[in-house]
Structure 1
């Protein structure tokens, strides 16, 4: 079975997991990612700053992203992001 790894960008648990999980296919990998993310999102939202984002990715055996879930907190009331808090533009990142 293929081996998958989680990676979190931003926040307390930032970084890639060293221990992989075996899952039968991409569909099972997506289910695992969404389930894990759902378990964490409440705590993440309570601590997420304005104009920041949090990401959770599932990586394949070569540590390449297969899926990514992003939680974005944007200020829409005409305020500018605080210094050092500018959100990165959405692009392919490894």
Structure 2
């Protein structure tokens, strides 16, 4: 088992989680990250401003990023 932590870059949940997620392997870590991010997606998108971005990282036990998901809002005019 390995421990992982969430890190969110913007918004009311910004920062690194205090609680670790103990997961079997990297596949389980990716599945957990996409599940949590998916659960938050609607709320994140409603609060996203033009020309901004939001990102979530999953950190390993040494707090090194393992995975990152980013949402980028761009204006194209």
Q: What TM-score do you get using the length of structure 1 for normalisation? A: 0.81
The number of aligned residues is 77
* Greater helix share, structure number: 2
Aligned-residue Cα RMSD (Å) equals 0.4
- TM-score between both structures, scaled by the size of structure 2: 0.98
Q: Which has the higher contact order (CA 8 A, sep 6+)?
A: 2
Structure 1: stretches of 5+ with no match in the other structure: 78-94
Q: Decide which structure has the larger Cα Rg and report it.
A: 1
Q: Gaps (5+ residues) in structure 2?
A: none
The residue aligned with 2:21 is 21
**Runs of 4+ displaced beyond 4 Å:** none
Task: Spell out, residue by residue over 1:14-55, the C-alpha distance to the aligned partner (whole angstroms, 9 max, x if none).
Answer: 000011010000000000000000000000000100100000
**Larger % of strand: which?**
2
